[in-house]
Structure 1
Amino acid sequence: ARALGSKAFSAGQFVDACIHYERACALEPEAHLHFSNLAAARLKCGRLRPALEAARECMRLAPRFAKGYLRCGQALKALGDRDAAADVLKQGLQRAEGAVYQAIAQALADCGERQSKPAETKAIKQPLDPRNIESVLNARAAPIVKAQEEAMTMSSAPRPVGLSLGNGHIFDILQ
């Protein structure tokens, strides 16, 4: 049932996806992934309260599964409760990594909350060392510098990040 739900979801057939995910949840009521997928499909259908219920069940079943917090935050935000959404999303950030972390951070930003930036970003005055970029830059600027790092390996005379971008636009990204 879950595979059929995923196929329907990928095809943009969200009502069908809901039906298949609901069946998967009934067949395996302890599988948190089914509830996460059901919440996502219900959100796409505009079934906000049922999406919230599915997301909360996902969180109950797997408290460390960050995507459950993302789904719950998305549902709360769509229902107009930005404060509750931000609270849930902050909890999710503590459990997340990789792409899920980025999705939660974006959802949190959409709620009007900003992540606190590392203190180092305010004091950058010299060219950045790409090897330490993750600890210095936020996630939006990191891909730019990583691309520069790759370009630098192909270039005989690498230039500082600010110069490579023209007139220091890297600092605008950090704001």
Structure 2
Amino acid sequence: MQKTIKTALLSELVILALWFYSFTFFINFQIAFLSSLLILLGSTYSYKRLVDRRVASQERPDDVDVIEKIDDPFDLYSDEITQEQGTRDETVDIKALVKEEKKRIKVQNVKNTAKSAPALLSMFRVIPYLFLILGFIALKNNALLSLMPYLIGLGFGILAGLYMGRSLFVENR
């Protein structure tokens, strides 16, 4: 935690030194840096909370061998042949099979989206995105927007966000 705070303070001091170069460069870099940094930290934190909640609730699939079920959903490569499989007609309606599979995948996608909605709509993500949008609009309306420092600031914010997010929220095992 202390290492992260030191990193944040050091980066802010370096950014503050940009003011001596140009106020326009400084303000563009600062807004972009903070926006991308906060977006990454908020996203990392909200997804960490989502994963922690799912682990705590022990929400896991019933099947032990999930990978095999994904690789072979119709048990085509099984060594065991049941009586039903041995006597059924080998002609398969491919179009019906594809439609059935698409329906199943669509239902799973909706379920997964509903389960991850709290992380998508978390205030830890929404507020930094609002800061990004409003900061960009404010720079544009005040005739201070300069894209090169803004894009450079976004890049440095991403790097700092990855580093800080990893040190804050990812447990080293």
Structure ID, larger Rg: 2
Q: TM-score, normalised by structure 1?
A: 0.24
Q: TM-score, normalised by structure 2?
A: 0.24
Q: Which has the higher contact order (CA 8 A, sep 6+)?
A: 2
